[in-house]
Structure 1
């Protein structure tokens, strides 16, 4: 049996591997969403380069806030809109934050993630935790011990899918100085580049002296 130090080292390595795989999994969805948005913009002639810089500027300091679903891959979309704000309205501060899921769903996702890690570590080291809990070992766990690689992959991907579903809010909410500009939860879609700039122009004209 491996000593305690070896167990800790291997466990950390497993956790880092899971983190890298999960980050790659999220970035994959981010790329798909970004490509989808780019195609929509092309079809409606909403190319960023074709948008003329508005002549009017905000006369008071403002902050635009993006609250979005990170597990949905909207981080790259947030970066794209941030560049639009800095290009056309450099005086506006930009803030981005995660749109949190309901607390109960977030708790279930954390519990599921913990169970996943414990099961993977036990399988990798061939350990059976059920006798310590005075519980009869399920047949499926005995099968998993005999098919470690397949069982670990199955647990990893199924658990990640459930965690992503629980943490997903499908939100992309935009507000400026606490005034709502756009809500994906209400409209069911993301704004195009022109729509986004027009929203800023409208807000700018309303706040001019």
Structure 2
């Protein structure tokens, strides 16, 4: 059906307020008012990334002050750490064997190995009659030695020179203690050199870890060489043995022991 303005052009123009326009102009304006169909686009618009993601990408690899952040060191796996400790143990064992067997100076490994399992006998010291030799445990305190030395020098009826001496631990215990001591040096060196690959807890407390390792290895080595020995000789005669009695000497033991070699302990002033 034809539009109304085509049937009654003058009336339609007057109603629409376009009395001065021709029919052709009205048709052109109507066509302009019709919405144009959108032409299909070949490519879809690229979706914009959220602003938060853009900020994250820009700040990646930068520290709080804007400088380039250093990459975090890769931590060593437990298997790697175990392999390093095993390597240190192997090196320490070989070093202890070489140093204790004296193989570099012509020592025999077989003779040294046999001595590890032989009965531990400490020979008596070769000293004159006026010398009192006291052999005590190297890892024990020397408080008891100081007390007995003062007693002998102040109360003995015969002047005696008191000489301290260390009581050697069994060879096998010394061998194990040497391994622990060398392991201590190697492990501390490992903490200093490869500290960046260690777990974060150790990296942040490196000095505490080194101090703790030093204390633990010293205690372990001391426990291996501890014999609780306290042997008293006058000349080459043994007057008291803590190894045989399994206890420390008291005053009566000292009086009887020195009396057996002709030395009296005078208790009255």
Backbone CA RMSD of aligned residues: 2.7
Query: TM-score of the superposition, structure 2-length normalised?
Result: 0.44
Match of 1:202 in 2: 260
Is the counterpart of residue 186 in structure 1 residue 253 in structure 2? Answer: no
Match of 1:96 in 2: 164
**Residue 168 (structure 1) shift:** 0.7
**Residue 70 (structure 1) shift:** 2.4
1:83 to 124, 144, 150: 150
Question: Retained in 1: the 8 A contact 2:134–2:233?
Answer: yes
Distance in 1 (CA, whole Å) between partners of 2:192 and 2:254 is: 50
Distance in 1 (CA, whole Å) between partners of 2:255 and 2:153 is: 11
Q: What does residue range 59-138 of structure 1 map to in structure 2 within 5 Å?
A: 61-73=129-141, 75-89=142-156, 91-127=159-195
Distance in 2 (CA, whole Å) between partners of 1:95 and 1:185 is: 19
Larger Rg: 2
Question: Any unmatched runs of 5+ in structure 1?
Answer: 1-59, 129-136
The 1:164/1:94 distance shift into structure 2, 3 A limit, reads same
User: In structure 2, the residue corresponding to 1:182 is in which secondary structure?
Assistant: strand
Q: What does residue range 6-21 of structure 1 map to in structure 2 within 5 Å?
A: none
**Residue 160 (structure 1) shift:** 1.5
Question: Any unmatched runs of 5+ in structure 2?
Answer: 1-127, 265-269
More helix by share: 1
Distance in 2 (CA, whole Å) between partners of 1:68 and 1:166 is: 15
Distance in 2 (CA, whole Å) between partners of 1:142 and 1:87 is: 59
* Structure possessing the higher relative contact order (Cα contacts under 8 Å, 6 or more residues apart): 1
Match of 1:176 in 2: 234
**Number of equivalenced pairs:** 135
The 1:145/1:119 distance shift into structure 2, 3 A limit, reads farther
Distance in 2 (CA, whole Å) between partners of 1:146 and 1:169 is: 39
Q: What does residue range 31-46 of structure 1 map to in structure 2 within 5 Å?
A: none
Distance in 2 (CA, whole Å) between partners of 1:170 and 1:122 is: 34
Question: Retained in 2: the 8 A contact 1:101–1:168?
Answer: yes
Distance in 1 (CA, whole Å) between partners of 2:207 and 2:143 is: 33
**Residue 69 (structure 1) shift:** 0.3
